């Protein structure tokens, strides 16, 4: 899906200035959801999740488009099995489990997702080299969201 940034900004303004609370645009396998929460308008590009609605992240207002992802991801995705907070290392200041260029094997811990005060180790389901890490340390993630790609 290739939505123009000006078009998205107009949609955000339309939702902000109206009594609408949510606007969803879908095209093929992608969608943009613009949701107004307590006078804050958020826009988010949503990738398809397995038969479930994907809520907007409870973060500051953000506008994401596929234009931001100029380079097509390489490899197989490792996705979040739950909603939570992404951590790249076992503790603050510790070395990350993996970095771009790291080689991982099946079953190796690649990150932690904190959900409901529980730290859940996420293991790689594939072997290969990490080509891209799609989320930042401490960032909220959704179920099915791509965390990284392994080639």
CATH number at residue 142: 2.40.50.100
Q: pTM for the full model?
A: 0.52
Q: Are residues 81 and 21 in the same domain?
A: no
Domain boundary among 35, 68, 101: 68
C-alpha 16/C-alpha 19 separation (Å) is 8
| Contact of 29 with 50, CB cutoff 8 Å | no
Residue found under tokens 């123009």 = 4
Q: Are residues 80 and 47 in the same domain?
A: no
pLDDT per residue as tens digits for the range 12-24: 888 788 877 777 7
Q: Are residues 23 and 88 in the same domain?
A: no
Q: Are residues 102 and 50 in the same domain?
A: no
Average pLDDT of the residues in 124-145: 93
Q: Which pLDDT score is estimated for 141?
A: 93
| Number of domains into which the chain is organized | 2
Top-confidence residue, 15 or 80: 80
pLDDT per residue as tens digits for the range 39-65: 545 555 555 545 444 455 454 444 454
Domain boundary among 25, 40, 68: 68
Q: Are residues 115 and 132 in the same domain?
A: yes
* DSSP annotation of 111: E
Give the domain extent around 29. Answer: 5-68
Average pLDDT of the residues in 64-68: 48
Cβ atoms within 10 A of the Cβ of 110, count?
21
């Amino acid at each position: 899906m290739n939505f123009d940034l000006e078009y998205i900004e107009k949609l955000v303004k339309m939702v902000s200035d109206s009594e609408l609370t949510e606007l969803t645009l879908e095209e093929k396998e992608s969608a943009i959801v613009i949701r107004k929460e307590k006078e804050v308008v958020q826009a988010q590009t949503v990738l398809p999740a397995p038969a479930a609605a994907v809520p907007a992240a409870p973060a500051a207002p953000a506008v994401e488009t596929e234009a931001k992802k100029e380079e097509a991801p390489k490899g197989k995705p490792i996705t979040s099995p739950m909603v939570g907070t992404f951590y790249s290392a076992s503790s603050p200041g510790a070395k990350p489990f993996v970095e771009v260029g790291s080689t991982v094997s099946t079953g190796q811990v690649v990150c932690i997702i904190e959900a409901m005060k529980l730290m859940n180790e996420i293991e790689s389901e594939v072997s290969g080299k990490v080509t891209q890490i799609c989320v930042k340390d401490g960032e909220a993630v959704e179920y099915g969201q791509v965390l990284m790609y392994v080639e």
